[in-house]
Chain A
Amino acid sequence: MGQISQAIHMVLFNPFCLLLILIGVVIGIIFGSIPGLSSTMALILFLPMSFGMDPMNGISLLIGLYLGGMSGGLISAILLKIPGTPSSIATVFDGGPMADKGEAGKAIGVGILTSFVGGLISILALMFISPYLAKVTLAFTSAEYFSIALFALTIISSLSGNSMVNGILSGFLGIALSLVGIAPIDGAIRFTFGESKLYGGFNSVVILIGIYAVTDIIRAGFERRDIDKKLAKKSYQMDSLYGIKLGDYLKRWVNIIRSALIGLSIGILPGIGGSTASLLAYTAAKNSSKHPETFGTGEVDGLIASETSNNAVIGGSLIPLITMGIPGNVATAVFLGGLTIHGISPGPLVFSKSGEYIYGIFIALIIANIFMLITERAGLRTFVRLLDIPKYYLLPIVLVCCIIGAYCNKFTVFDVYCVFIFGLIGTLFKFLKIPATPLIIGFILGNMTETNFRQALMQTGGSWSIFVTRPISLIFLLVAVFSVAMTIRKQIVNAKKGKVAEEEEEG
C-alpha cells in the first residue's frame, strides 16, 4: 500500500508531473498526426531530456508522448487519407470515406473516443492481469510467429477488393521489397545491386509516404480540373460530444471488445506491432459484420476496429516490458532505456525493488489517456478546419512535411529519393488498378515471416513438422487456410453474380 500512495504522490499530486504528461500528449499528437513523423521519433527525441529529470517526471513525459503519438495518427489518416504511421493504415479505409461524405468531425470524434477505450482496456489489463498475460509471450516461439505472420498475410486476399490476383501480386511485391538489404540470420547481402545505401533495407515509413502521399498529390495533378470540387459542407456537424451517441457506441461492444483483445494480444507478442493489430481487427470486424460490403465506404465499425486495437497495443506492449524486461518495439525499448538510466530495471523483481515507479507508470498511463481524450477533442475543430484549406494549397504543404519526415528518419537524401520512387510505383499501380495496401502489408510482414520460418527450422534441424505439431501454430495455420478458402469462395460467387448481371445488361 505504501508504494501505491507514494506513486499517487509522485504523479497525481505533483502538478509538474501532470504538466509534463500533458505536454507529452500534445507533442505526441502533433508528431503522430504529421505524416512521416511518429511517436517513436518523438520518444527518441525527448529521451535524453528525460534523463535529466526526476525519474517519475521523465517517465511520465515519455508516457505522454507514447500515448499521444499512437492516437495522433488517426488525424492525418482521416483528414488527409495518409496514414501517418503504419498502425493507422486501417483507419484510412473507413475514416477517409467518412470524411469524404462530410463526416470528418464524426470520424475523428469516434476515433478519439474509441482510442481512449482501447487504451483504457489495455492499461487495465496491464495493471491487473499482466503476470498471467506475460506467460503468453513465452508460449509463442518462432513457429507460432511464422504462423501468425502467414495468417496476417492472408488479410491481403480479403482486402484486395474485386481484383484478388492483382492484390496478391502487390502483396508479393511488398514481401520482395522487404527482402532487400542484409538478410536476417546469416547476413547475406541480397538484391542491393551494389548500392550500399540499400544494405539497411527500405524503411516502412518511406514506403508509406511514397505510396500514399506522393501518389495522392500526383493523382491530384492529373485531376486538377476537379481539384476545387467542394466537399459536403455540413460536414463538421456533430450530434454529440464525440460524434456518436453513447448508446450507439456501446451497441457495438462486441466489436470494441474484440478489437481491444486483438490489440492487446498482438501488443504482448514482441516485435509484431500496431499495424498488424489494426489490420487484423479490421478484417475480423469486416468478416463478422452482417453487412461487410459497407466496409471501405465509411463504416463506423471499421474505424472503431482499427483505432481501438492500435491503442490497445500500448498496454499490451508494456506487459512484457514491465514483467520481464523485454521490449517488443522501438517505443518500449526507448522506455526501457529511460527506466534503466534512472536505476529502475523492469523484470521479475521490479515490483519489490521499485514498485512505486511501476504504480506511478500505471497512474501516468491513465492520466495520459484522459488527457488525450480531452485535448484531442478540444483540438477537433481546428483539425477539421484543415479541410477548409483549398487542396491546391494543402497538398503541396503536406508533401513538404512528408519529405522532411522521410529525411529525418536517417538524415539521408537516399530516403527522399526512395519516397519519390515509391510515389511513381503508387501512381503506376493506380493506373493499372492494382491495390497498393497489400504491398505495404506484405512489406511489414515479409521479414517476420522469413526470419521466424528459418529460425523454427533451425530449432528442429530442418523438420517442417514443427508448424503443425505445436498447437497454437497449427490453429493459426488452419485459420489462415480457412480465411483464404472463404475469400476464394466469395470471389467465385461474386464472379458468377457479375456474369449474370453482365448478361442481363447485354440481353
Chain B
Amino acid sequence: MTDKKKGIITSVLFLAFSIVMIIFAKDIKPMMENDLGSGFFPMVVGIAMCALSVLRLILALREKEKEAKKSNDDLMGGLGTLVLIGGYCIAFNPVGFIISTIVYLFLQILLLTPKAKRNWLVISIISVVTPFAFYALFVYLINTPLPRGLFGF
C-alpha cells in the first residue's frame, strides 16, 4: 500500500473518531456551579482532532503516488500471532492460567520458530515449565491469585 493511501486511511479514521467524540461531548452538561463541565475538554480535543485530520487528508491528497515497496510481511505468521494472542486473552480466565498458557506458548513458539530450528522437546518443556514456574512464583511466593479456571488450578 502506498503512503498516500495510508495517509488517507489515517485521516478518515481519526476524522470518524473525532466526530463521534464531538457528538458525545455535546451532551455532557455542567453539574456544578463555577465549573466548565466535563464536556468542555472533550469538545476541545474533538474539534482539534477533527481539524488536524482534515489537514492530514489534504496533505495526503497532495502527496504524489509513489510506487509502494513490496511488503515483505508474512501474513500467516502475523495474523496467526494475532489470533493466538486474542484466543489466549479470551481463554485466560475461563480455562485458567496454567492450561491456557501451556497451549498458547506451545502454539506461539511453534508459529514463530523457523522450520529448521524446531525442537519439539525444547518447545514442549518451555511451554509446560513456564506457566508452572510463574504460577508458583505468583500464587505461592507473593500471594497473588491467578485464574484457576476449569480444573481448579
Residues of A participating in the B interface, judged by any CB pair closer than 8 Å: 45, 165-166, 168-169, 172-173, 175-176, 179, 183-188, 190-191, 214, 217-225, 227-228, 390-393, 395-397, 399-401, 403-404, 407-408, 411, 413, 416-417, 419-420, 423-424, 427, 431-434, 449-450, 453-454, 457-458, 461-462
Contacts and interface: CB of A to CB of B under 8 A. Distances in A.
B146 interface: yes
B121 interface: no
Contacts of B142: 45
B10 A432 contact: yes
Given A190-B28, A218-B81, A228-B114, A400 B105 contact: yes
Given A416-B89, A454-B35, A176 B24 contact: no
Nearest to B50: A172
A431 B117 CA distance: 29
Interface residues of B, number: 72
B111 interface: yes
A221 B74 contact: yes
22 contacts: A165-B59, A169-B49, A172-B45, A183-B28, A190-B38, A191-B42, A220-B112, A221-B79, A221-B82, A223-B74, A224-B114, A392-B112, A396-B112, A400-B105, A404-B138, A413-B147, A416-B89, A417-B89, A424-B82, A432-B9, A432-B10, A458-B35
Interface string B100-137: 01001100110111100100001000100011001000
Contact of B78 (A45, A188, A221): A221
B112 A391 contact: yes
Contacts of A401: 134
Contacts, number: 186
Contacts of A227: 112, 114
Given A188-B28, A457-B36, 7 more contacts: A190-B25, A191-B24, A222-B75, A225-B114, A404-B146, A454-B41, A457-B35
A438 to B, nearest CB: 12
B52 A222 contact: no
A176 B88 CA distance: 28
Contact of B134 (A165, A400, A461): A400
B39 to A, nearest CB: 8
A500 to B, nearest CB: 15
Contact of A400 (B34, B41, B104, B113): B104
B83 to A, nearest CB: 10
Given A185-B38, A188-B31, A433-B3, A393 B126 contact: yes
A403 B28 CA distance: 35
